[in-house]
Structures are given as structure tokens and as C-alpha cells.
């Protein structure tokens, strides 16, 4: 595989995990292992920001009625519960930095409400930076370790993978529980969305 094609595929993979409810940590680590601790985070950050922006605009353009046909009811209730707390830049940035709140849900939730795109984009860009560096550096570090001690690198990778799956399951459960305990009234679909 050519270096250019590999770069495109990794970048598109990261865009995909930002669009869908998939764990981004593994993809970011793979990018870090491939492109190192400095180019890797930039690539992962730009791809995740692109995927988040696409999610926002898809939600905004398709609208709530269209998405309700494709997304489970529990998802829509969860999106309502969290997106209504994301009105200002402070709460929205904080939500990006709290790992308990699913990244994808914030993307779609903001698109379904009146959160302006400029605020969404700026807070997402800031909120993505820590994770991009942490996970890419983890991937780069594991690759370096694999060259010296392959068994240790495999064991650590397996442990991190298991921890990520457990964390995702706990996070999803807490997210749904919070949404069920804090119902909100959705925005009036007749209200024009803010597009600034």
C-alpha cells in the first residue's frame, strides 16, 4: 500500500469513527503509531473535527423527523438531554472534555438544536486536542515498545483494548440513565435553526 493511500484510509477511518458511535481511541492510536507523536495528533485532530462537522450538518439538514426514523428512541432522548445543556461555549467545551459524554452524541445533538456552527466548531476544535495527543502518543509509544519487547506491547495493547470496551459500556449505560432521569422538551421543530 502506498504511503499516500495509507494516509487517506487512516484519515477517512478517523472521520468515520467521529460520525458513528465507535470508539475513536483505537483509530487515533493507529494514526499515532503510523505517523508519530507530532504528525499523528494533527492528522487525528483534523479528521475527527471533519467528522464532527459532517455529523452536525447532517443532523441540521436532515432534521429531527428524518433522524428519528434511523436512530433508536433512546438515542434521541439522550441527544435531547445533553444537547440542551450545550448552549454556551463554556458548557459545550466542558462536555467535550468529560469522557463520560459520548463524542458522537454531542455532534448530532448540537446539529439538532440551535447551537451555532461557529460555537460548535470552536469548542470541538479545543475539546479534541487533549485526546488527539494522548491517544496518538499512546500508539506511538506502543510501536516503540513493540520493537524492544513485542510481548509487553501485545499485553498492554490487549489491556488497553479491554479497558476501552469496558469504559464504553459503562459510559453508554450512564449516558442512557442520565437521559432517562433528566427528560427535556425538544426544541420546537418549527423554530428556524441558528446557522451563524
pLDDT in tens, 123-146: 999 988 888 888 777 766 655 545
d(CA 97, CA 8): 27
Percent of the chain with pLDDT over 70: 64
> Position of cell 438544536?
113
The pLDDT assigned to 196 comes to 41
The pLDDT assigned to 69 comes to 76
| Mean pLDDT across 80-93 | 66
Neighbour tally for 161: CB within 10 Å: 14
Please provide the average confidence, as pLDDT, over all residues in the chain.
75
Structure-derived torsion over alpha carbons of residues 114, 116, 120, 122, reported in degrees to the nearest 10? -160
The pLDDT assigned to 17 comes to 87
The pLDDT assigned to 91 comes to 74
What is the tens place of the pLDDT at every residue in 172-182?
A: 666 566 555 55
Q: Which residues contact 145 (CB under 8 A, 6 or more apart)?
A: 152, 153, 156
Q: Which residues contact 79 (CB under 8 A, 6 or more apart)?
A: 71, 105, 108, 109, 112
The pLDDT assigned to 84 comes to 61
Amino acid at each position: 500500500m502506498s504511503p499516500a493511500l495509507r494516509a487517506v484510509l487512516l484519515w477517512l477511518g478517523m472521520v468515520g469513527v467521529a460520525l458513528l458511535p465507535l470508539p475513536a481511541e483505537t483509530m487515533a492510536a493507529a494514526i499515532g503509531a503510523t505517523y508519530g507523536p507530532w504528525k499523528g495528533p494533527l492528522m487525528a485532530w483534523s479528521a475527527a473535527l471533519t467528522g464532527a462537522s459532517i455529523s452536525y450538518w447532517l443532523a441540521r439538514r436532515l432534521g429531527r423527523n428524518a433522524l428519528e426514523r434511523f436512530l433508536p428512541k433512546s438515542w434521541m432522548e439522550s441527544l435531547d438531554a445533553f444537547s440542551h445543556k450545550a448552549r454556551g461555549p463554556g458548557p459545550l467545551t466542558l462536555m467535550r472534555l468529560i469522557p463520560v459524554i459520548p463524542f458522537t452524541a454531542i455532534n448530532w445533538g448540537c446539529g439538532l438544536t440551535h447551537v451555532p456552527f461557529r460555537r460548535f466548531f470552536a469548542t470541538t476544535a479545543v475539546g479534541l486536542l487533549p485526546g488527539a495527543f494522548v491517544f496518538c502518543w499512546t500508539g506511538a509509544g506502543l510501536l516503540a515498545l513493540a520493537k524492544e519487547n513485542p510481548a509487553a506491547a501485545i499485553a498492554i495493547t490487549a489491556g488497553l483494548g479491554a479497558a476501552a470496551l469496558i469504559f464504553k459500556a459503562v459510559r453508554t449505560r450512564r449516558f442512557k440513565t442520565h437521559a432517562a432521569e433528566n427528560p427535556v422538551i425538544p426544541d420546537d421543530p418549527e423554530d428556524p435553526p441558528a446557522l451563524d
